Chains A and B, each alone.
Chain A
Amino acid sequence: MSHLDTAQLTELKDIMEDAFGDLVSTYLDDSTEKLSALDSAVTAQDAKEVASLAHSLKGSSSNICASGLAEKFKVLEDMGRAGDVTEAAAALEDAKAAYADVEQELKSL
């Protein structure tokens, strides 16, 4: 089962042309960094930081055609905005798993 939107992906490849590969590696490098920071924020129970990082990851994920993954980050963002990240650890694990799938699929393109 594909974790990426095929139609959107086609359009994205069309837009990026030869730079598509660069885009993918940029996204992956950036996301890895941000996920690590998100992890620390959840541990530290920093709701604001959680919201900010989750928001950013949500945005970039939707742009890379991974809308399902974006949804996972939205859950974390909402928690952060509400000011209550006590249950965030579970949602984070969920997001990390989804990210791993997307990462694998992107690398195989």
Chain B
Amino acid sequence: MDVAPLKILIADDNQSDRMILAAIVKKMGHETCAAGDGLEAIEQFKQHSPDIILLDVMMPNMDGQEAAVEIKKLAGEDMVPIIFLTSLQDASDLAACLDSGGDDFLSKPYSPVILQAKINAFSRMRRMNNTLQHQRNLIRENNEHMVHEQEVARAVYDNVAHSGCLNLPNLRHLLSPFSVFNGDVLLAARKPSGSLHLLLGDFTGHGLPAAIGAMPLAEIFYGMTAKGFAMAEILREINIKLKNILPVGYFCCACMVTLSFERKQIEVWMGGLPEYYLYRQDTKAIEKVVSTHLPLGVLSRDAFDATTEKFALNNGDKLYMWSDGIIEARNDEGDLFGEERLLDIFTKNTKPDELFDEIVSIVNDFSGESGKDDDTTVLEVTMVDEDEVGKVDIDLSSGAVTGPTDWCMTYTLRCDTLKTFNPLPVMLSILNDVPALRILSGQLYTLMAELFSNAFEHGVLGLSSGMKNSADGFAEYYKQRTIAMSEMIDGYVSFQFDLKPLENGGGQLLITVEDSGEGFDYKAREDKQFQAGGYSGRGIPLIRTISDSIEYHGKGNIVKVALSWEGLGAD
């Protein structure tokens, strides 16, 4: 087998021996350079970088072994085979030669056949070594590249994740700094109505595949929550999105919670996560909240079940949520933290305010040196009054700078649509296109929600508003609502929006809502005094505080609400 021409260094203190070697090597097609002692050999190596070295053992000034040591040092990571030329025969002498860095021997008299075979063999080894080094360098480069990409991915993800409100006063959380790459997600956002949406997600796997799923999930969660969509709709969208984009076998165990400060209630959907604990402040009792669904991203649109569980909460009651990382945390001996230890923390606790800190410190102590909290995600949610968390902040940064200022539109929803479709998000979205209305977004949402509720429930379905007087009444009311909706055969609700600019630079919005119901005796109402507060009424006191005027027409089944505002830039 022929090899590509090599550069071979011949170091022998005997001139005639050098001549013979040079002749053999040149006949093979290789190039040569020569040295007469160890020092010259090192010089030649530095200057010509030979591929293979033929090195006599016994030479004056510096012998072969010393030279070999020096040359191997100079070669570093590169493989430069050294074949000792020797007529030494003592085994320990020969061994000493190999120890000093030699790779083989060639004894005198030189056999051309043997020398050629050895040169070829070492040439193959050199090539293999070069290939390995090259591949190792590639791997190292790719690895650095990947780490860098992950850092960028993380920065992008942080921007998406951190537009949430996990820093609300009634929330406490522990989210490991490596959470992006352990697949855990924790999101919080307020709806325009003031309610709080929470989502804790645990994606299959680690690293980028887990992080990538979190991006569309976060976008959908924040986008739809801001527009006022209900939990069920958001879950459906997230589920089908993940099912479409994640590979088979990848999914997201999740828990979503809607917390209503006004109604003192939480609504919970859980899929694939370990049980959660609901702590009652007055009785110190612990209720378990379990997963009743499959994780997100598994089922098709039709098969997905968005059924939720509702819990009434008093102020001070707390819900604890986590990913399974907390249960699977291991200590130095390899034991699992486990569900029993977790429950133990709750039953042994005496100061509810310190419960969250206790969980964090006990888990940390348990994990010790190994892994610490790199897989632990915990959230404590406390029920409070809305005053404590404040009103909803409207984000003016979303949406166009200029928008339509002079237009009119009518949107009529008929029977079947009324049963299944919530029109508020899409209508609010249209109104949000008008920059001035974006500032009023929260009030607009409340206004529209009330008008729609009145028109649909009291108008079309004919439900009495008086029932919403008490907590029990609410439950009965919603029961009747469900029945009435299923029995509906016709009816409509129609929204008309009329937007006009005003001379002072501001604008006016006229909303007209008409329903197919019987209406009510509005003339009689206007004569009465309204009670401030209370559950009942057609929300009319509420609408009065937001709008400029409110008028009833027809049978009372048509209501006109007018809002106006000053020109922007007056700030």
Residues of A whose CB lies within 8 Å of any CB of B are: 8, 11-12, 15-17, 19, 22-23, 26-27, 30, 52, 55-56, 58-60, 62-65, 67
Q: List, in ascending order, chain B residues with CB within 8 A of A65's CB.
A: 109
Please tell me if the beta carbons of B109 and A56 are within 8 angstroms of each other in the complex: no
Please tell me if the beta carbons of B87 and A55 are within 8 angstroms of each other in the complex: yes
Q: Shortest CB–CB separation between residue A68 and chain B, in angstroms?
A: 13
Closest 8 CB pairs of A and B: A27-B16, A62-B109, A60-B14, A59-B108, A62-B108, A63-B109, A26-B16, A15-B23
Q: Mark B53-76, 1 if CB is under 8 A from A, else 0.
A: 000001010000000000000000
Q: Shortest CB–CB separation between residue A30 and chain B, in angstroms?
A: 6
Please tell me if the beta carbons of B19 and A22 are within 8 angstroms of each other in the complex: yes
Query: Counting chain B CB atoms within 10 Å of each CB, which of A15, A26, A52, A59 scores highest?
Result: A59
Q: List, in ascending order, chain B residues with CB within 8 A of A11's CB.
A: 112
Name the residue of chain B whose CB is nearest to the CB of A25. Answer: B16
Please tell me if the beta carbons of B16 and A60 are within 8 angstroms of each other in the complex: yes
The verdict on B24 contacting chain A, using a C-beta distance below 8 Å, is yes
The verdict on B27 contacting chain A, using a C-beta distance below 8 Å, is yes
Residue in B24, B60, B87, B112 whose beta carbon sits within 8 Å of that of A62 in the complex: B87
Q: List, in ascending order, chain A residues with CB within 8 A of B15's CB.
A: 26, 30
Residue in B27, B60, B108 whose beta carbon sits within 8 Å of that of A63 in the complex: B108
Give Cα A19–Cα B390 distance, bound, in whole angstroms: 102
Please tell me if the beta carbons of B112 and A23 are within 8 angstroms of each other in the complex: no
Name the residue of chain B whose CB is nearest to the CB of A57. Answer: B14
Query: Counting chain A CB atoms within 10 Å of each CB, which of B13, B15, B17 scores highest?
Result: B17
Q: List, in ascending order, chain A residues with CB within 8 A of B396's CB.
A: none
Please tell me if the beta carbons of A63 and B58 are within 8 angstroms of each other in the complex: no
Q: List, in ascending order, chain B residues with CB within 8 A of A30's CB.
A: 14-16
Please tell me if the beta carbons of A19 and B17 are within 8 angstroms of each other in the complex: no
List B residues 324-340 near A (Cβ within 8 Å): none
Known: A8-B109, A16-B23, A59-B108. A23 touches B16 (CB 8 A): yes
Q: DSSP majority for the A interface?
A: helix
Please tell me if the beta carbons of A19 and B23 are within 8 angstroms of each other in the complex: yes
Please tell me if the beta carbons of B19 and A56 are within 8 angstroms of each other in the complex: no
Name the residue of chain A whose CB is nearest to the CB of B20. Answer: A63
The verdict on B478 contacting chain A, using a C-beta distance below 8 Å, is no
Q: A15-B27, A52-B58 are in contact. List 6 more A-B contacts (CB 8 A).
A: A12-B20, A52-B60, A59-B108, A62-B87, A63-B108, A63-B109
Please tell me if the beta carbons of A26 and B19 are within 8 angstroms of each other in the complex: yes
Q: List, in ascending order, chain A residues with CB within 8 A of B110's CB.
A: 63
Q: List, in ascending order, chain A residues with CB within 8 A of B13's CB.
A: 56
Q: List, in ascending order, chain B residues with CB within 8 A of A16's CB.
A: 19-20, 23
Query: Counting chain B CB atoms within 10 Å of each CB, which of A11, A15, A16, A17 scores highest?
Result: A15
List B residues 398-412 near A (Cβ within 8 Å): none
Name the residue of chain B whose CB is nearest to the CB of A31. Answer: B16
Name the residue of chain A whose CB is nearest to the CB of B12. Answer: A59
Complex A-B: 14 CB contacts under 8 Å: A8-B109, A11-B112, A12-B20, A15-B20, A15-B23, A22-B19, A23-B16, A27-B16, A30-B16, A59-B17, A60-B14, A63-B109, A63-B110, A64-B16
Give Cα A41–Cα B199 distance, bound, in whole angstroms: 95
Give Cα A55–Cα B27 distance, bound, in whole angstroms: 28
Query: Counting chain A CB atoms within 10 Å of each CB, which of B16, B20, B87 scores highest?
Result: B16
Please tell me if the beta carbons of B24 and A15 are within 8 angstroms of each other in the complex: yes
Known: A62-B108, A62-B109. A55 touches B58 (CB 8 A): yes
Q: Shortest CB–CB separation between residue A92 and chain B, in angstroms?
A: 19
Query: Counting chain B CB atoms within 10 Å of each CB, which of A12, A16, A30, A60 scores highest?
Result: A60
Q: List, in ascending order, chain A residues with CB within 8 A of B19's CB.
A: 16, 19, 22-23, 26
Q: List, in ascending order, chain A residues with CB within 8 A of B60's CB.
A: 52
Residue in B24, B27, B87, B112 whose beta carbon sits within 8 Å of that of A58 in the complex: B87
Name the residue of chain A whose CB is nearest to the CB of B86. Answer: A59
Give Cα A23–Cα B23 distance, bound, in whole angstroms: 10
Q: Mark B9-41, 1 if CB is under 8 A from A, else 0.
A: 000011111011001100100000000000000
Give Cα A19–Cα B14 distance, bound, in whole angstroms: 17
Q: Shortest CB–CB separation between residue A11 and chain B, in angstroms?
A: 7
Q: List, in ascending order, chain B residues with CB within 8 A of A62's CB.
A: 87, 108-109
Q: List, in ascending order, chain A residues with CB within 8 A of B112's CB.
A: 11, 15
Please tell me if the beta carbons of B16 and A63 are within 8 angstroms of each other in the complex: yes
Name the residue of chain B whose CB is nearest to the CB of A52. Answer: B58
Q: Shortest CB–CB separation between residue B119 and chain A, in angstroms?
A: 15
Name the residue of chain B whose CB is nearest to the CB of A67. Answer: B109
Q: Shortest CB–CB separation between residue A52 and chain B, in angstroms?
A: 7
Q: List, in ascending order, chain A residues with CB within 8 A of B108's CB.
A: 59, 62-63
Q: List, in ascending order, chain A residues with CB within 8 A of B24's CB.
A: 15
Q: List, in ascending order, chain A residues with CB within 8 A of B109's CB.
A: 8, 62-63, 65, 67
Name the residue of chain A whose CB is nearest to the CB of B58. Answer: A55
Give Cα A16–Cα B23 distance, bound, in whole angstroms: 6
Give Cα A16–Cα B17 distance, bound, in whole angstroms: 12
Q: List, in ascending order, chain B residues with CB within 8 A of A60's CB.
A: 14, 16-17
Q: Shortest CB–CB separation between residue A49 and chain B, in angstroms?
A: 11
Give Cα A20–Cα B108 distance, bound, in whole angstroms: 18
Name the residue of chain A whose CB is nearest to the CB of B24. Answer: A15
Give Cα A64–Cα B482 distance, bound, in whole angstroms: 112
Q: Shortest CB–CB separation between residue A77 and chain B, in angstroms?
A: 9
Give Cα A17–Cα B26 distance, bound, in whole angstroms: 12
Q: Shortest CB–CB separation between residue B372 and chain A, in angstroms?
A: 66
Q: List, in ascending order, chain A residues with CB within 8 A of B27's CB.
A: 15
Please tell me if the beta carbons of B16 and A56 are within 8 angstroms of each other in the complex: no
